[in-house]
Amino acid sequence: MRKKTIIQCAVCTMMIWLYALAGFCTAYASGSVLIDPGHGGSDKGVELTKRDSEADFTLDVARKIKANLARKKAIKVILTRSDDRDLSIEERKKIVSGSGADLFVSLHINAGFGITSSGYEIYFRGFEQKGQITPDSDNVVDDMIQTRYLNDSIRFSNLVEKEMGKIFARQGRGLRGAPLAILDGLKMPAILIELGFATNHKNKEILLEKSVKDRIAGALSKSIEEYLESK
């Protein structure tokens, strides 16, 4: 009887340990993310001040994201550019396709649409129906894969929207599906985020704050980590 009780206790202890281990594993972020700082080199993007450009701003944020996530040994961060250089969309997409990354994030700053336009925007590639689909068509599999990427892009966008809302309070301009060249054909969840309007006075003030790059990098790092934990 005593032997049976000991065995039962041992089995219960083992099951508790396995459940605890499973819980630990599900909360463990791992994978890779590719960060694309927009513009660069001769293409400075929009101007924040005479000395501060979109190209420099997005590169600084990308570097800070990489530094943040470097503390997570199981998360690999790749940058399309790590310095101020010209890089075409085709060159960027070549880097992406060879990276094997689990996630793609392109960083930009908005401009135009009048001085009253403000806030951040998050874009993902919308689903496009290509031709007529039949049950035995090869397109069915491709569409299923693209739908999965789209759903994961939207899920990640929601995480980013929640964190960016802490920086630009009540200024989220929503999640938008759009046929953007940098996102077209990518075989992974992917978003492009416009980090505020350089043409809006209040947005520009926020973007020029000393701490804002750290705050944006922190928001995006947290979103990336949460996404990779749940994938």
CA angle, 126 then 106 then 51, to 5°: 140
* Residue 58 burial by Cβ neighbours in a 10 Å radius (0-12, 13-18, 19+): buried
Q: Using the 8-state DSSP alphabet, how is residue 35 labeled? A: E
Note the pTM of the prediction, 2 decimals: 0.83
pLDDT of 23 over the 70 cut:
no
Instruction: Report the helix count and the strand count for the chain, using DSSP H and E.
Output: 6, 6
CATH number (3.40.630.40, 3.40.50.80, 3.50.50.60, 1.10.10.60) of 29-230 reads 3.40.630.40
Tell me what pLDDT residue 1 has: 53
C-alpha angle 119/45/219, rounded to 5°?
Answer: 40
End-to-end CA distance of the chain: 46
Higher pLDDT, 20 or 44: 44
Backbone angles phi, psi at 57, to 5 degrees: -60, -50
pLDDT reported for residue 231: 74
Q: What is the pLDDT of residues 144-191, one digit of tens each?
A: 888 899 999 999 999 999 999 999 888 888 899 999 999 999 999 999
Q: Where exactly are the structural domains of the chain?
A: 29-230
For 84-131, what is each residue's pLDDT tens digit?
999 999 999 999 999 999 999 999 999 998 899 999 999 999 765 444
Tokens of 25: 């594993």
Picking from 49-53, 126-130, 171-175, 226-230, which range would have the lowest pLDDT averaged per residue?
Answer: 126-130
Average pLDDT, the chain: 86
DSSP codes joined into one string, 117-163: --SEEEEEPPP---S---TT-THHHHHHHHHHHHHHHHHHHHHHHHH
CA dist., res. 91 & res. 87, Å (int): 6
